[in-house]
Amino acid sequence: MPRKSTNANTSQRILDIAERLLQTRGYNAFSYADIAQSLHITKASLHYHFPTKAELGKRLIERYEQSFLQALADIDKAGADAAERLRQYIGLYLNVLRNDRMCLCGMLAAEYTTLPRPMKAELKHFFDENERWLIAVLEEGRAARALHFDGSAREMALLLISSLEGAMMLARSYDDVARFEATADRLLAALTARK
């Protein structure tokens, strides 16, 4: 039993370091050597836990998505109205940016054409789940007359995701979180404005 616990702990540490590297450098800009050096272990030990970088990448996306979906479930459990739920959704992105990181899946999306096929499928699933959650919140908000927008909830969900991911990139380019906050505030204001 202790061996399994040690292996699980090592796997988690590998994932933690790899996640940080991916969110700050990108998938193609880190190697197993970078992780091994950070953890003071051999590359062979890394390959024991994650035989290929593609498997590591796939597991990173799965873990990130699980964490993100749990955060969305927590937002739903709080029972806030649609506008507040969107504010909290934006807060998830903002917290990542404030920690000098980018959305893991946003970073991967920038490198999409170079990713292994299994990672591409997981990446799309992450964005599909975000879209699904946003559509539900937007439809609920529109029905309650708390949110106002033209077009379908799906179109607005796509606009929100695209705008937030893009705003993160620009804020990072300028090392200015306020740029992200201004974009997010503008999006929320447009959705909650009476028409």
Instruction: Answer whether residue 6 shows pLDDT above 70.
Output: no
What pLDDT score does 2 carry?
44
What tokens appear for 28 in the block?
Answer: 């193609």
Token digits of residue 53: 């970088």
- Residue 5 confidence (pLDDT) above 60: no
- pTM as predicted: 0.92
Provide CATH code, domain 53-192.
1.10.357.10
What pLDDT sits at residue 43? 92
Percent of the chain with pLDDT over 70: 96
pLDDT category at 8 given cuts 50, 70, 90 is confident
* pLDDT for residue 195 is more than 90: no
Three-state SS across the chain?
Answer: CHHHHHHHHHHHHHHHHHHHHHHHHCHHHCCHHHHHHHHCCCHHHHHHHCCCHHHHHHHHHHHHHHHHHHHHHHHHHCCCCHHHHHHHHHHHHHHHHHCCCCCHHHHHHHCHHHCCHHHHHHHHHHHHHHHHHHHHHHHHHHHCCCCCCCCCHHHHHHHHHHHHHHHHHHHHHHCCHHHHHHHHHHHHHHHHCCC
Q: What pLDDT, on a 0 to 100 scale, did the predictor assign at position 132?
A: 98
In the chain, where the domains are located: 53-192
pLDDT in tens, 100-146: 999 999 999 999 999 999 999 999 999 999 999 999 999 999 999 99
